Amino acid sequence: MIHPDTEIRQINETIGVGVFATKRIPKGTIVFALDPLDIVLPGDDPLIKHPGLGSYIEKYSFRDEQGRRILSVDHAKYVNHHCSPNTLCTAWGFDIAVRDIEAGDELTCDYGLLNIESNMECMCGDPGCRLVIAPHDGLMHSRHWNKVIKQALKSEKEAKQPLAFLLSPVVKAQLEKYLQTGKGYISVEKMVYLEGNSNRKIRLAS
């Protein structure tokens, strides 16, 4: 589920639509959380190769650390990539605003954390654009992303959290422990799907 203070807007014919803030969303706000209503498909589900549905699933879903396809029930699936995004995925099953997002700003994430299966050309226009988003980016850039996420988490307590109800008791306890002690942070490396290791478990919201 995506933050309630967001909406879909048309950008242009090339990009299509994106997700925009309707109100200010402060740094440290949970902007997306895994939702029991989301569609979860095993990596070998026939629907992924379905002639009519496969392309839609590939475009609008992401892969988790077990290789499953997650298709968001709401407009979270329309969040676009940016090489300097204002939100980042965490290994706790939620995305966090890593800087203040003003009303009218587009919400963006980094597809390098979504276990893409092949290289994607990027035209985000950022001065630090990687030009190509690659399947291994989740490992290559994890140190930087962890640093940015940890900085954003310092503001988590100050921000209103309308999506907190979606976090499991386990995740809430782990997050609280980290915020109180600085220990127990889970690296985004844990989100990376390793082919042939689909039974690997990590601690996520459920």
User: Which residues is 106 bridged to in the sheet?
Assistant: 20
pLDDT tier for residue 195 given thresholds of 50, 70 and 90: confident
pTM to 2 decimal places: 0.91
Q: Looking at the domain 6-191, which fold is it?
A: Beta-clip-like (2.170.270)
Amino acid at 4: P
**Residue 70: pLDDT above 90?**
yes
Tokens 């850039």 map to which residue? 141
State residue 155 phi and psi, 5-degree precision.
-100, 5
Q: Stretch 140-157: mean pLDDT, rounded?
A: 98
pLDDT tier for residue 196 given thresholds of 50, 70 and 90: low
**Residue 84: pLDDT above 50?**
yes
Tokens 């963006």 map to which residue? 108
Sequence-distant (≥ 6) Cβ neighbours of residue 166 within 8 angstroms: 1, 33, 34, 35, 94, 205
Whole-number pLDDT of residue 163: 99
Domains of the chain, residue spans? 6-191
Average pLDDT of every residue of the chain: 94
Whole-number pLDDT of residue 204: 33
